[in-house]
Amino acid sequence: MKPIIAPSILSADFANLREDVLAAVRGGADALHCDIMDGSFVPNISFGPMIVRTVNEMTDVMLDVHLMIVNPDKYVPEFVKAGADLIYPHVEAPYDIYRTVQLIRDHGIRAGITLNPGTPLETVIPLLDHVDTVLIMSVCPGFGGQKFIPSALQRIRRLRRLLDEEKPSVTIAVDGGVSRDNVAELYRAGARHFIAGSSVFKAEDIEGAVRELRTIVEALE
């Protein structure tokens, strides 16, 4: 599978959302990442299905929806309707996550599962028949612009080995502090889906920032 560059719109300028999104798409974004935060699962509130729908109307690229919410089951149908192509709930959500990932697939889209930095990798094993992607958080979720946690690299390497044994078709995504400085190392560790917020949308040249990430990973293919 071709590596995916997925700029996270959380760091975009919401007064100029269309311009920012279209610049990322011109730079070669394969997906746009939408961070949904409810103020309970994480200490921040972001946006909901209305913004996802708005972004979906701006472009044809795939929409990645990261659910940092306590009750993902309740909102899956709405995000699917808004245009989500891949939904990642958290394994730490206080509901039956096994049911949630099945619910996502029952809606005809791809399912992911997200792990916080302190969550054991083995927690995904029972879910592997029901997910397409495992998302490794390389910051504590809740805010854009945080510093990359270096131990994420070792976790990605270990997870890749585990997936190769258990379910090789599952891909690894990484989210938090991803930039041109660590994307090559993340690729070598086994990640193929790169979520980048501030390194793209806070850059002077959004289009160029996406293109640079793309060029770095393509050179490693």
Phi and psi at residue 196, in whole multiples of 5°? -135, 120
Least Å distance between CB 143 and ligand DX5? 6
Query: Which span (19-27, 81-89, 134-142, 163-171) binds ligand DX5, by CB under 6 A?
Result: 134-142
Residue 195 is a binding residue for ligand DX5 (CB under 6 A): yes
| Cβ-based nearer residue to ligand DX5, 83 or 197 | 197
Phi and psi at residue 128, in whole multiples of 5°? -65, -25
- Give the C-alpha distances (Å, rounded to integers) separating 182 from 52, 65, 121, 177: 28, 23, 21, 9
List binders of Zn ion among 32-61 (CB under 5 A): 35
Hey, which residues are catalytic here? 35, 175
Q: Rule CB under 6 A: choose which of 20, 21, 33, 76 binds ligand DX5.
A: 33
Residue 175 is a binding residue for ligand DX5 (CB under 6 A): yes
Residue 117 is a binding residue for ligand DX5 (CB under 6 A): no
Secondary structure (DSSP) of 165-218: HH-TT-EEEEESS--TTTHHHHHHHT--EEEESHHHHTSS-HHHHHHHHHHHHH
Contact of residue 190 among Zn ion, ligand DX5, none (CB under 5-8 Å per partner type): none
Q: Rule CB under 6 A: choose which of 77, 145, 180, 216 binds ligand DX5.
A: 145
| Cβ-based nearer residue to ligand DX5, 77 or 117 | 117
CB-based contact 152:137 (threshold 8 Å): yes
Query: Which span (7-15, 16-24, 118-126, 205-213) binds ligand DX5, by CB under 6 A?
Result: 7-15
Q: Give the start-end residues of each E strand in 54-192.
A: 62-68, 86-88, 110-115, 133-137, 171-175
